[in-house]
Amino acid sequence: MKLQVTQENLSKALSTVGRVATNRGTLPVLANVLIKTIDNRVAISATNLDIAITRYIGSKISEQGAITVPARLVQDFVGSLPSGVIDLKLDEFKLRMKSGSYSSSINGISAEDFPVMPAISDKTAWKLPAKMVKEALQQVVTAASSDEARPVLTGVYIHSYQGQLFMVATDSYRLAEKKLGEAKQDVSLLVPANAMQDLLRIVSDSNDDVEILHDDQQVMFTVGEVELVTRLIEGNYPDYRKLIPKSFNTTAKLKKQEFASITKVASLFARESAGSVVVSADESDKALQVRSVASQLGENTSKADADVTGEGEITLNSRYLIDVLSVLNGSDVEFCFNGKLEPSLIRDPKQDDYLHVIMPLKS
Amino acid sequence: MKLQVTQENLSKALSTVGRVATNRGTLPVLANVLIKTIDNRVAISATNLDIAITRYIGSKISEQGAITVPARLVQDFVGSLPSGVIDLKLDEFKLRMKSGSYSSSINGISAEDFPVMPAISDKTAWKLPAKMVKEALQQVVTAASSDEARPVLTGVYIHSYQGQLFMVATDSYRLAEKKLGEAKQDVSLLVPANAMQDLLRIVSDSNDDVEILHDDQQVMFTVGEVELVTRLIEGNYPDYRKLIPKSFNTTAKLKKQEFASITKVASLFARESAGSVVVSADESDKALQVRSVASQLGENTSKADADVTGEGEITLNSRYLIDVLSVLNGSDVEFCFNGKLEPSLIRDPKQDDYLHVIMPLKS
């Protein structure tokens, strides 16, 4: 292998894929990135066996070839080089890299040892705008569970329902649902949330469409020059729609920033009680109140002006409130609930394609 | 106690002193800050028994008093409040704080339990400009040791010598010396380096003079409204001047940024060898070269243009080189050494008040 790439392109590709490389696995090659010529491009890839990411970059290639080298070292090295052309040359298993007065030799592992994801068969392909995917992922991914005891809840469920396409996640304590518009075919994909976190980083950088190609086992997202392949999670997603309350005894409409501020302040006092705060609203008071449960440290009560219908209170995990308030887009927010035992709902009153449900805590 | 302060002043004072408060001690009150009225001001203090920091703020006081409250909680709480007036009121051991629609009660510990640093007797006082202290601390503090086995090396040594005032630190692997100008009296103070780190943060914020008041046991630095008191380290500082080489076989003059870049790149390959790199210079080559010692990962050689006198090589810890190159001010740097076994010296050729010595590693 012998080729030239620009520092900018190689550095960008290494930082796109490098995050997936891992030192924690048992296979040393998983800590490496694969550098491989394919016709007149170079593919830079990393995988942790669940997820594989590849970025293609243009290159002047004099000799085809492939090698894997330690991801962190090569990323730090290329990131430290001045901009301009880098010469790469493979010498047995040593990758020699030269740029101006910087010259290094990195010990690699054979490209044949690098695990390849199985090809996707029975292909179904469709597209979504990057901007839509980015917003949906930001609003949905945090609600997924990280507890491997219930694998289906560690996924983001992309599916069609009554002709509409939805993206949903829930860890059983909270639930986020985004409507993505009309579904052009039947879809039911359960994608690992950490792959979706990687996809979010990739789409954040891009204005391209996201192309989605899948079979029963795997899905590949293509965004410009980047491909992300991940296995799908097996199992049936819970029938989450029945958890979403349809009517409410109490509704408060207020400024999103104020709701976030009073919740953050109350959460400071709620460290001993795992973040639990009491949210209450009263029509006659024209305010929403967040109160931390009295603790060894002290207690706090803060209020924000609100348009309130009805009255009542509910105990919630303040972290879940803070999470959803940070991903809503508008300046106003509507908080709706039915007493202490039923799920509460948060939404932007001006945006009907997103809703977020938070289960109450026992108080 | 009953008073009013502005959120800006209280928040600033809490962040100045809060760093010193510690949860790690055996005394719970050390995790607290002391809030105490003194005439028409409020003193906000924290201590870890070695260091005490106080910031005074203006206040409208209706009732004198004092209390201690958890540093982190009150700092986070006040930092989250909107700007404006905060009402403080002490109710037994509960500090009630109110600002607009935010209202909290923080459980305190009696001010009588808060440890007071002994008063400074036999006072000697002098002043230095904040800008000079800031530059000196930035260039000297990192060379102090963090190894408590040799307490004198964990200090910064401020002393007079032949009519000049100096600030010095060494961990025995490297040494930094800054000349502070004419000494107006005999001085010999060995100040804990972590107190000097705190002083650096305080002077970075200020244009005031630094007033220094001390006896044999303690020193107090006053910068505007902030006082830092620390115990002094006992013991004799080593006769470091004999370690500073006076003449050199090899001298290289080069751009500081280029020296820093090639050292950083070489250090990436030197992780297994605890950062050791080989620096070599050759008059005929007109370049300084930094080479990482070959390792399992690979190896690297990088060069920078330099005016070289003589030739030779020396093995150094790359971290020490990176540290000193980051605190020199000028655009050029002079690197001087005498073969593999003698200490090397780095200085700014245009600034003769600062020098940095790095001991060689065995190679």
Question: Tens digit of pLDDT for each residue in A273-305?
Answer: 889 999 999 999 999 999 997 778 899 999 999
Residue A311's pLDDT is what? 95
AA identity, residue B151? P
Distance between CA atoms of A264 and A268, rounded to whole angstroms? Answer: 7
Nearest in space to A45 (alpha carbons), one of A115, A132, A137: A115
Cβ distance B102 to A77 less than 8 Å, yes or no, reads no
Give how far A77 is from chain B: nearest CA, Å.
6
Strands, E assignment, B149-306: 155-161, 164-170, 174-182, 188-192, 209-214, 218-223, 226-231, 250-255, 276-282, 287-292, 298-305
pLDDT (average), residues A338-350: 95
Residue B274's pLDDT is what? 86
- Ranges of residues in chain B whose predicted pLDDT is under 70: 363
Domains of chain A: 2-113 (3.10.150.10), 124-242 (3.10.150.10), 244-358 (3.10.150.10)
Rounded to two decimals, the pTM is: 0.90
Give how far B76 is from chain A: nearest CA, Å.
7
- pLDDT > 80? residue A95: yes
In this prediction, residue A121 has a pLDDT band, given cuts at 50, 70 and 90, of confident
Element (H, E) at B262: helix B256-268
AA identity, residue A299? E
Q: Which of A80, A261, A304 sits opposite B80 (nearest CB)?
A: A261
Residue B293's pLDDT is what? 74
Residue B194's pLDDT is what? 95
**pLDDT tens digits along A206-232:** 888 999 999 999 999 999 999 999 999
Residue A317's pLDDT is what? 96
Distance between CA atoms of B48 and B115, rounded to whole angstroms? Answer: 9
Residue A25's pLDDT is what? 75
Bridge-based pairing state of the strands B226-231 and B164-170? unpaired
Q: DSSP readout, B76-132?
A: HHHHHSPSSEEEEEEETTEEEEEETTEEEEEE-B-GGGS--PPPP-S-EEEEEEHHH
B74 chain-A contacts, CB cut-off 8 A: none
Report the share of chain A in percent with pLDDT over 70.
100
Helix, strand or coil for residue B213?
strand
Nearest CA in chain B to A95: B298
Backbone angles phi, psi at A195, to 5 degrees: -65, -35
Residue A125's pLDDT is what? 86
Cβ distance A102 to B268 less than 8 Å, yes or no, reads no
Q: Which of A104, A287, A304 sits opposite B269 (nearest CB)?
A: A104
**pLDDT tens digits along A154-176:** 999 999 999 999 999 999 999 99
Complex ipTM > 0.90: no
Distance between CA atoms of A150 and A143, rounded to whole angstroms? Answer: 14
Conformational region of residue A286, where left means phi above 0, alpha means psi within -120 to 50, and beta covers everything else:
left
Residue B72's pLDDT is what? 95
Give how far A184 is from chain B: nearest CA, Å.
47
AA identity, residue A300? N
- pLDDT > 80? residue A244: yes
Distance between CA atoms of B313 and B340, rounded to whole angstroms? Answer: 6
AA identity, residue A285? D
